[in-house]
Structure 1
């Protein structure tokens, strides 16, 4: 039986399945594009927090409250609060990620995001008003839990809602909001950095309020994920949700085909539902392979030293004495944003595996260059600082081009449907653990009062990046253009990594044959509803 012929974003306007028609143009798929942009609000909040909080450590207004004044009259912060402020956010995000599966199983995707938004608002209020280290640390932990929920549930919702030929583009677009949020957070920081009062950091915190507030008010208007609804026995609502998402892009036959594929998987997985004990299924049978891939790729961001650059970039530029650290941070971040936008063009033609591998290798090479710049003798501080700016910009370009969008995409594509939230939560949670370790230990390596390695710390991440690149090359299969149900079938049938592209999915063809009969039945019902009632003979005679 021939395989389903699908591509990520084909050149033709319409894609004809054996019995259904799918229009793959952006205009026809405007609904899923709109949902993607809407999901970006949650990631904007996550990115803004990263951009804003990272810059507080270089603000005199913040350091007057939570830092100390040096003998020369400047301001600095001790390594312990520096560690906790950065790492507690990550620790909270880890907790949120690990709770994604059980919370999402009971509340659904939408209500879980509403809960997340409420937690973020509470955390921001505490950060804004407190002058206590204890309250500040608690608010960072709470904000991390909220952002961990927002990140994972928005990604899972998009995974479960986007058509196969749009998933890559949707994730490229939605993760763009992380970088946009980070950049805007940095711009706001720069505008308030010179204020010698608490308003220097309070104003950026005020700017964090709109995103979660918008989500709380508007999420009740959004349809729940069709796959989540199916897994909870709400088939009619699931079909209604899918019909809303695919309207204008699918004809009725194509819609029924996709729905039948979803139903077949949901029926199989309903037999294995075991409440919270479902998490143990991650490490059994063919699911173990999926878990290893998702966790391995999910830790790629941390493995190439992303937190080393993202959390301490402004601090680095300040100690390097190369001008305005906030300005250079914004410029390098904009270069990274350009890399993220450029990837929209390539994901449809190149695929996830190649882009992730390119990103890993580019980031790894930059870490080596960074270490060499501050190791070689005869290089002035000024020239080394310029090299640091260039290397950091190239690093962020590679990170956003190949890693930031697609590690989340892979972590959501590979798992079984009933384990998707659990697996993605575990993958991102493990990534947060490594990011937390990086944020917690980095001050010891770079702070002048400790080891004072500075950019030489890049050597450590060069070795780590090589290990991550090797894992991606040997373990990650290419699933561009495949439906989530096709991916599930290939893993259950233990298809080798190199054979994913050419494998024929038999179960999907069978589901499409069932969908054809459903679509014909639906067409007859519509015809009967549209057919005018015959006039009664007496009424006709009177007329």
Structure 2
């Protein structure tokens, strides 16, 4: 279908433009506050990545789960190294696939509360056990909990943020992952030299506050308005939306957005107990959305993120460029700077260009890193310095264009009744590729196996080119669009390049109905304010 012209919009458009939406940060302080609060769940996910990755270089941890070489240094076998890193990803995959059915029953808030409880249990087991079996189980359980937290927090924010704030909110909320990773690394550095189990137990104990805060405070957060609508609770949905938009929307704008949501909910009510809904992901126009979401969702793994994130400290250690924990913290802070820089660009440039830039930058870094370690005549020390620089640039590009926005795309493109299912599938597939990377990387880099080291980057260079091509040809730009507008464009099979200019007629009609509802709402309240004498007469009759 060709894009509709502005002149094709019915007369109702004149009414629909009456809603006032204040896009300033001050007016939208509520959704900013919710974003920062939701970020607590992602802080935990980042802290886990930062803390656990460093355990493999801690003598206190290796004394329990590693071995001492003939030279007196502590090391770890490749098999435990694989399982510790990969079981967390495997658990996250399981949690991601269960996001849809669990969320349909429990909602977004209660699912995050369940995740927080599971996380506390997993952390306790990890801190007290000396058994490999219990350690592996705790990593699996921790992955399930983090898979839930990651997906449900993202879905909640997708369904709650106004369209003009969605990109910024995701840039802010995902910064908690990098902040958590950095703090986890700092705590690791502070405890790394303790020659006892406390070296890794202290960082684990530091994991408790985040899930505890969520369990105690989530009951006070309103449920997602779109989830409430899809479960037959329109009054609660309007109340939730009114809370989230207070100060930024007038009544007309509020009713217009609510009518947009109602139009979609009436057509695509979420099936709460039918697991077969997942098959709808691969039918009709939903198939295109699923392919895009899964394809972009695998971008993190496709550019070799787990190669850098899970084994960065290990690489800096064998490169002998100084304190590996310190260099890991420094390079991670460079990545955090890249993430914060996107806050300025995302509302102006859009998702597509940022994701493509991130993919290309990470891909080029992988090539340069591999060349450094194959170039003749380059000393190991200079190669190590180059590794630090390239890792810094890689993390800058990764956080600038990939970390926040692959989750944003995976959550804003699906149909409303399939959002949690699609987000879970995209995350799950991404975790599978991440798990494969974490599981196989030790064979390529470990000195007792192939011993490729950073030359492993050649493989990720080719993979990154494939990911970049997919993003360029498949991903549409939906900056500033409501979730309902995006749904209409996919249902009307709008070509990728025409998304930005397309006029959504159904949404214009819904906004017109919202404006009329707002008028009726205003008249009703005006009538309630006037008949004071009638209330007195009724009281006297009683």
TM range (shorter): over 0.9
Matches within 5 A, 1:33-432: 33-270=32-269, 275-432=274-431
- Cα distance, 1:529 vs structure 2: 2.2
Partner SS for 1:480: coil
Q: Once structures 1 and 2 are overlaid, which stretch shifts more, 325-334 or 266-275?
A: 266-275
Inter-CA distance 506–129: structure 2 relative to 1 (3 Å threshold): same
Check 1:445–1:3 CA distance in 2 against 1; reply closer, same or farther (3 A cut). farther
Between the aligned partners of 2:298 and 2:54, the Cα distance in structure 1 is 25
The answer to whether the 8 Å contact 2:270/2:418 transfers is: no
- Given the superposition, is the C-alpha separation of residues 505 and 67 from structure 1 closer, same or farther in structure 2, using an over 3 Å criterion? same
SS in 2 for 1:386: helix
State which drifts further: 509-518 or 78-87. 509-518
Query: C-alpha separation between the residues in 2 aligned to 1:201 and 1:535?
Result: 72
CA distance in 2, matches of 1:495, 1:139: 46
Tell which deviates more after alignment, 515-524 or 461-470.
515-524
Contact kept? 2:16, 2:515, Cα under 8 Å: no
User: For residues 415 and 138 of structure 1, what CA distance do their matches in structure 2 show?
Assistant: 33
Separation (CA, whole Å) in 1 of partners of 2:57 and 2:468: 33
Distance 1:233 1:46 in 2: 33
Provide Cα deviations, 1:320-346, integer angstroms capped at 9, x if missing partner: 000000000000000000000000000
Which residue number in structure 2 is paired with residue 509 of structure 1?
Answer: 508
- In structure 2, what is the Cα distance between the partners aligned to 1:535 and 1:71? 95
Q: Deviations over 1:245-289 (max 9, x none)?
A: 000000000000000000000000129777211000000000000
Q: Give, in angstroms, the shift of residue 17 of structure 1.
A: 6.0
The residue that corresponds to 1:28 in the other structure is 27
For residues 105 and 536 of structure 1, do their structure 2 counterparts lie closer, same or farther at Cα, with a shift above 3 Å needed? closer
How far residue 531 of structure 1 moved from its aligned partner, in angstroms, is 2.3
Structure 1 spans left out of the alignment, 5+ residues: 5-15, 539-543
Q: Relative to 1, partners in 2 of residues 1:3 and 1:407: Cα closer, same or farther, differing over 3 Å? A: farther
| Cα distance in structure 2, aligned partners of 1:250 and 1:126 | 47
Give the conservation status (yes or no) of the 8 Å contact 2:356–2:401.
Answer: yes
Query: Does the 8 Å contact 1:19/1:512 carry over to 2?
Result: no
* Distance of 2:515 and 2:187 partners within structure 1: 55
- Provide closer, same or farther for how the CA distance between residues 467 and 493 of structure 1 changes in structure 2, counting only shifts above 3 A: same
Residue 443 in 1 paired to residue 442 in 2?
yes
**Could you say what secondary structure the match of 2:285 adopts?**
helix
Residue equivalent to 2:477: 478
* Cα separation, 2, equivalents of 1:273 and 1:98: 16
TM-score (norm 2): 0.96
CA contact (8 A) 2:228 2:234 kept: yes
- Is the partner of 1:528 in helix, strand or coil? helix
Residue 379 of structure 1, CA deviation: 0.5
Q: Counterpart of 2:540?
A: none
The answer to whether the 8 Å contact 1:42/1:150 transfers is yes
2:517 aligned partner: 518
1:385 Cα shift?
0.4
Deviation digits for residues 127-162 of structure 1, max 9, x if unmatched? 000000000000000000000000000000000000
Determine if contact 1:3/1:506 at 8 Å carries over to the other structure.
Answer: no
Deviation at 1:530, TM superposition (A): 2.2
Name the SS for the 2:163 alignment partner: coil
| TM-score between both structures, scaled by the size of structure 1 | 0.96
Please give the alpha-carbon distance, in whole angstroms, between the structure 1 residues aligned to 2:143 and 2:240.
31
**Matched pairs, number:** 528
Q: 1:532 Cα shift?
A: 5.6
CA contact (8 A) 1:3 1:503 kept: no
SS at match of 2:503: coil
Is the CA contact (8 Å cut-off) linking 1:60 and 1:75 kept in structure 2? yes
Whether the 8 Å contact between 1:193 and 1:200 is mirrored in structure 2 is yes
Q: Is the contact between residue 19 and residue 516 of structure 1 (CA under 8 Å) also seen in structure 2?
A: yes
User: Are 1:90 and 1:435, in contact at CA under 8 Å, matched by a contact in 2?
Assistant: yes
SS at match of 2:532: coil
SS in 2 for 1:360: helix
Q: Which residue of the partner structure matches residue 10 of structure 2? A: none
Distance in 1 of aligned mates of 2:442 and 2:341: 33
Quote the Cα distance in structure 2 between the aligned partners of 1:273 and 1:440: 35
Structure 1 Cα separation of the partners of residues 519 and 303 of structure 2: 52
CA distance in 1, matches of 2:270, 2:73: 64
Secondary structure of 2:21's counterpart equals strand
Q: How far apart, CA to CA, are the structure 2 residues paired with 1:527 and 1:465?
A: 61
Between the aligned partners of 1:108 and 1:279, the Cα distance in structure 2 is: 17
Deviation, structure 1 residue 525: 1.4
Q: What is the DSSP-based 3-state SS (H/G/I as helix, E as strand, rest coil) of the residue aligned with 1:504?
A: coil
Give unpaired runs (5+ residues) of structure 2.
Answer: 8-14, 538-542
Q: Deviations over 1:342-388 (max 9, x none)?
A: 00000011000000000000000000000000001111111000000
Return the alpha-carbon distance in structure 1 between the equivalents of residues 536 and 240 of structure 2.
43
Alignment CA distance shift 1:536-1:439 (3 Å): closer
